[in-house]
Structure 1
Amino acid sequence: MTRVMTQLELLRELEPVAEANVNRHLSMARDWHPHDYVPWDEGRNFAAMGGEDWEPEHSRLDDVAKAAMITNLLTEDNLPSYHREIAENFSPDGAWGTWVGRWTAEENRHGIVMRDYLVVTRGVDPVALENARMEHMTAGFFPGNNNGLLRSVAYVTFQELATRVSHRNTGKACNDPVADRMLQRIAADENLHMIFYRNICEAALDVAPAQTLMAITEILKQFQMPGAGMPNFRRNGVLMAKHGIYDLRQHLDEVVQPVLRKWNIFERDFGSEGAQTLDELGTFLEDLERQAVKFEDMRDRSLARDAARRERAEAAV
C-alpha cells in the first residue's frame, strides 16, 4: 500500500513545479490598470456631494446582467478569505509564497475595476451593493473539505475556470462594449491563474496519484462556487443559469470535462488503491450529465413560457 504523503512532503516535492509555473506565469501575464477600463466621463456626484442618488432608471443593465455583475463582484470582494485559504494550504516561503502574493495582487484588480465601472455607470444600486459586500465579507469564505494542498489546488483549478466562464458570459450579457472589454481582461487573468493550479495538480497526480485522485473526486462531488453564501445568491444564480451565464451544462462541458481530459484522468493507472475512486468519479460524471440534461429541459420549458407571456402581453397592448 502506497504511503500517504504529508502536506510538507507534497510542498517540497512540488516546489520545483511551482517555481517553474510562477516563472511561466510572470512571462505570460500582462500588466493592466483598472482605471483604463472605466468610462469616467459618465460619472457624476451622488446626493452627499450635491448630486443625485441612484434610481433604477439610471442603469442600462437588464436584470440578468445586474445579477451576474453583482454576483461576480461580490465573489471577487471576498479575496481576503481566499488569500487566507491558499496561504494556509501553501507556504509563505519560496515559490509558493511568491505565487500567493502575486495571485492576490492580480485578483484585487478585478474587484477594483468592476466596482468602479458599476458606480460610475450607475449600473446597480451602490448602497445595496455596499451592504451586500459588508455582509458577504463579514461572513467570509470557509470551503469546508478543501483543506490541505491537494484539495485546495483541485478546488481552485475548477473554480478559476468556472469564474472565467462566468465573467466572459457576463460581459456579453451586459450589452455594453466597455463592460465586455473589461470582463474579457478579467477572464484572461482567471485563465492564467487556472493554468497555474491545473499544472500543479497535474504534477501531483504524477507524485501521489491515488491521493490526488481522491482529492479531485471529493472536490467535484461537493463543488460550490465561492460566492454561495452571499446575499441573494440563489436568486441570482437561477437567473444566471437560466440565461446562459453559468449553468450545469457549462460546468460539466466547459469546466469539469476539459480539465479532466487535460489530466488524462481516465487513461492513468491508479492501481488497486485508486480503482474504486476512479469508478466513483465516473459514476458522478454520469449523474452530472443526467442532471444537466434535466436542467436543460426545465430551462427550455421555462424560457418558452416566458416568451409566450411576452407575446400575450404585447398582443394585449
Structure 2
Amino acid sequence: MRSLSLLVASTLLLFSSWALADYRIGVSIARVDDNFMTYVRNGLQAAAQRNHIQVEVQDAQGDVVRQLDQVQAFVSQKVDAVIVLPVDTAATDNLTRATVAAHIPLVYVNRRPDQATLPEGVVAVASNDIEAGRLQMRYLAEKMGGKGNLAILLGELTQNATHGRTEGVKEVLKDFPGIKVVAEQSGNWERSKAMDLTSNWVLAGTPVDAIVANNDEMAIGAAMALQQAGKGNLPIVGVDGLPDGLMAIQRGQLSATVFQDPKAQADAALDAALAMIEGKPVQPTIWVPYQLVKPDALAQFQAHFN
C-alpha cells in the first residue's frame, strides 16, 4: 500500500512539474557520451531549468537516421521547439524540412549545417571554426620561430568543424613559408586514434617539430605518444579548452588550446529557441567567440568548470 502511495505521489509530482513548465523543447544530441557534447547537454538542461522549460534529451548515437526519427517524433508530439546538435552537418536537410513544415522553431547548436543560408524559423548557434584554426596556428608559429615541420591531426572528415579549423591553420601558414606540413591525417576526434597516428609518425621517422590538432582529445593523445617516445617537449595546440585540455596545459603536455564555450553555446541556443517560440526576431547565425588559452591564463578558464 505504501509503495502504491509513493507511485501516485511521484506521478502527481511529474505531472505538476510538466504543468509548471512554460514550454516543451525536444533536444537531439549527436552523441551524449562525447566529452564536449556532454557539457552542451548539461548547459541546455541547466538553462531550461532556469527558464521553467521542459526539455526531453535524446541520444542519436552518431546515427543520422536515428536523429531524423527523433526529430520527427518531437514534431509528432507538437513540442514548442527543437534543438539539434547534428550528427552530420551535411545531412541536416531532412531535419530542417520536418520542423519547417510543422512550423516548429529549430535551433542547431555547436555544429552549424553546411547550407550557406538557413530558412526562416531555423537558427544556428556555433563558434567560427576558421577563427579557432587561426588562433591555434598564430600561437604555434610563434612557438616554432616561424620554421620547422608541422603535423596536423584532423577530426571527422564529414564535419565542417574539421574543415574550418584546418582552413584557419592553413590560412595562417601562408604567412610562414618556413613551416612545412609533413603529415596530415584524421584522428576522428579520438585520443587513442591520435596516439596511434603519432606513434606511427615517430616509428616511420617523420620529422615532426610541432603538432596542431582539431581538438584537445587528439592533442592529448599525440602528447602521450610523444612522451612514450621520449619526445615530450614538442609544442602541441588543441581546441576545446575543457578540463582535460586545461589540465594537460598545466602538466606541460600541451602548449595551449582554444576555448570553445559549451555553456555559452547552450545558453544562446535555449535563448534563441525561446525567442522564436515567442515570435521575437533572432539572427539566423549566432557566433560564440573562441578564445586562446595560454598557460598564464589557465585559472580564468578553469573557473568556467568550478
TM range (shorter): under 0.3
Larger relative contact order (C-alpha < 8 A, sep ≥ 6)?
1
Q: TM-score, normalised by structure 1?
A: 0.27
Q: TM-score, normalised by structure 2?
A: 0.27
> Greater share of helix residues, 1 or 2?
1
> Greater share of strand residues, 1 or 2?
2
